[in-house]
Amino acid sequence: GQQLNQSPQSMFIQEGEDVSMNCTSSSIFNTWLWYKQDPGEGPVLLIALYKAGELTSNGRLTAQFGITRKDSFLNISASIPSDVGIYFCAGPGNNDMRFGAGTRLTVKP
Amino acid sequence: EAQVTQNPRYLITVTGKKLTVTCSQNMNHEYMSWYRQDPGLGLRQIYYSMNVEVTDKGDVPEGYKVSRKEKRNFPLILESPSPNQTSLYFCASSFGANTGELFFGEGSRLTVL
């Protein structure tokens, strides 16, 4: 099936720093999604991208749908402690949603 | 409140003792799915259901069963649990398989001794 390669696996940053993570695939996706999983919770959708080249912002979060449709990145600006969690990229397969392995973000106050 | 509810949230059991993890959604979603989350592996799909009485295998279906007799419920059944099924399980639902937003339950942490 379609594989999503997400990097980095983990990040340790200082509060206030910017963060960037990305996701690549060998297959084309028509939609890219970014989810966040807070500790002890299920993942929640942060941003959805539906068009190649699209750049979408949601507060301090910015995500882009790569022009080749095989990659996407997520940026978080001016990180705060509540940004802690695991971030997953995702893309729809035939009858399922494919997920990357996740980027675990730790923010030090 | 729109939600996906899983039970139990935590369970410790022994090898071979059948168990069921229930999942219920109140959003009238047609699509429901089960995932397991293991460190470094992300979310892997176990089974999914496109609608009532329509279920199919995901990437890691071995050792699991599901049923979809009603639209709102999608239980996950482990007939004879083994230690390699120790994991964090998530149920999710959406209007369709490829419509974008999956709504997840809070997770069920299962330990099989």
**Exposed / middle / buried, residue A44 (Cβ in 10 Å: 0-12, 13-18, 19+):** middle
The residue among A56, A96, A104 with the most chain B CBs within 10 A of its CB, best to mutate, is A96
pLDDT of residue A95: 74
Query: Which residues of chain A have a CB within 8 Å of the CB of B59?
Result: 1
Whose structure tokens read 């496109």? Answer: B50
Rg of chain A over all Cα atoms, to the nearest angstrom: 13
Q: Answer yes or no: are the C-beta atoms of A109 and A12 closer than 8 Å.
A: no
Q: How far is it, in rounded angstroms, from Cα A108 to Cα A44? A: 23
Per-residue pLDDT tens digits for B17-74: 999 999 999 999 999 999 999 988 889 999 999 999 999 999 999 999 999 999 999 9
Query: Which residues of chain B have a CB within 8 Å of the CB of A10?
Result: none
Per-residue pLDDT tens digits for A46-88: 999 999 999 999 999 999 999 999 999 999 999 999 999 999 9
